[in-house]
Structure 1
Amino acid sequence: MGSCPAAKVLAKEKEVGAVVDPLLQALPWIVGGLLLVLLLAVLRRPLGWLMRLAARTGVGLGVLYILSWAGGPVGLRLGVNLTNALVLGVLGAPGLGLLVALDWVLAP
């Protein structure tokens, strides 16, 4: 007697299952990775703009800190806060002029 055809089919199914199961377990990771790549590709420009704004705001905070330290003797009282740093980050040097003018006009 030869081997049973049902046993051959079961053995073949086990071989296929051994290959397919790891692929099915990795499928959510593959799909998630592809979605992440797609999301980053779509949001590349806005994320770049936000990163530049964050860097410029950080530089603005540094400038405000230096001005709060060195501006005291000349009467410059700009607060070191996120609002002033964002004004400096968005407007740059004209923003500094705006903040100094507002400090001068609104000074008690």
Structure 2
Amino acid sequence: MIMGFELSIILAYAFGLILLYIVGWILLIPIKLIIKLIWNGVIGGAMLLLVNLIGGIFGITIVINPINALIAGFLGVPGVILLLILQYIL
């Protein structure tokens, strides 16, 4: 009887640890996504500013409006390159 009681406690702890791991993993995924979006937004905004500062010397500028800011924010550096390519195509 004593051995069965200890086994049930060990199983309860193991189940609790597994459940805690699963809940932590589920909550961690959105945090990683939010951090990635914030990082891309910062890098994209810095690239827009850099392109306008340095590119202004050569006549290459990107108008900063909400749509361009969203593209640069979600995609980061590839978004700024996309905006430059689209500007010269259109």
Which bracket does the TM-score occupy, shorter chain normalised?
Answer: 0.5 to 0.7
- Distance change >3 Å, CA 81–CA 54, structure 1 → 2: farther
Residue of structure 2 aligned with 1:43, choices 16, 21, 27 = 27
The aligned residue for residue 10 of structure 2 is: none
Shift of residue 82 of structure 1?
Answer: 5.1
Q: Provide the C-alpha distance between the structure 2 equivalents of 1:70 and 1:90, rounded to a whole number of angstroms.
A: 22
Match of 2:16 in 1: none
Report 1 or 2 for greater relative contact order, CA contacts < 8 Å, sequence distance ≥ 6: 2
Structure 1 distance, partners of 2:81, 2:48, is 12
Greater per-residue helix proportion: 2
* 1:70 match: secondary structure: helix
Inter-CA distance 42–63: structure 2 relative to 1 (3 Å threshold): same
Letter in 2 for 1:98: L
TM-score by length of 1: 0.49
Q: Deviations over 1:8-47 (max 9, x none)?
A: xxxxxxxxxxxxxxxxxxxxxxxxxxxxxxx865321012
Report how many aligned residue pairs link the two structures. Answer: 69
The RMSD of aligned alpha carbons is 2.7
Listed as ranges, the matches of 1:1-108 within 5 Å are: 42-81=26-65, 83-106=67-90
**CA, structure 1 residues 55+82, in 2 after alignment: closer, same or farther (shift >3 Å)?**
farther
Structure exhibiting the larger radius of gyration computed from Cα positions: 1
Return the letter of the residue paired with 2:36. R
TM-score of the superposition, structure 2-length normalised? Answer: 0.56
Please list every run of 5 or more consecutive structure 1 residues that lacks an aligned counterpart in the other structure: 1-38
